[in-house]
Amino acid sequence: MTSPRPHPHFDDRGTLDWHRNWAEAAETARREKKLVFIDMGRELCSQCRTLVQSVIPHPEVAPILKERFVALASDADETEDEVLALAEHLEDAYMLPFVVFADADGKFVGGTSGATNPLSFRRMLDSLVV
């Protein structure tokens, strides 16, 4: 088995295999029957760093993400149209990181913006996964 592709900006301690474009992430999600988890952030964003380095690898979060989601790292300064259209569904989103969940066909299923912690993130994942 190949090593997971790292997040482009931060070290998630090898937790997820990070896709870099929507088409690839959606195809993988379709094939694996998973949802897509999109992290839209910037390298200089401290809350973006916290999400990837502390929340994602947390023992209450990582297993759910690995089992049920395909990860897509999207740079907030160079966002693909498909990802931008999904992020527009986030109500009152004004602070990075933007976290978006979608199905493989590009249907928005949930998300949030701004700082989060492992407990809040886990609750959000639980609300998306039956």
Q: How is residue 121 written in tokens?
A: 């993130």
pTM for this one?
A: 0.95
**Coil, helix or strand at residue 11:** coil
Tokens of 98: 């933007």
Confidence at residue 123, expressed as pLDDT on a 0 to 100 scale:
96
What is the pLDDT confidence band of residue 129, given thresholds at 50, 70 and 90? low
Cβ 73 vs Cβ 25: under 8 Å: no
- Is-contact 19 28, C-beta < 8 A? yes
- With a cut of 80, say whether residue 130 has pLDDT above it: no
- In this predicted model, what pLDDT tens digit does every residue of 70-102 receive, in sequence order? 999 999 999 999 999 999 999 888 899 999 999
13: left (phi over 0), alpha (psi -120 to 50) or beta: left
| Share in percent of the chain as helix, strand, coil (round to 5) | 35, 20, 45
Which of 35, 46, 107, 96 lies closest to 71, judged by CA? Answer: 35
Domains of the chain listed by start with CATH number: 18-128 (3.40.30.10)
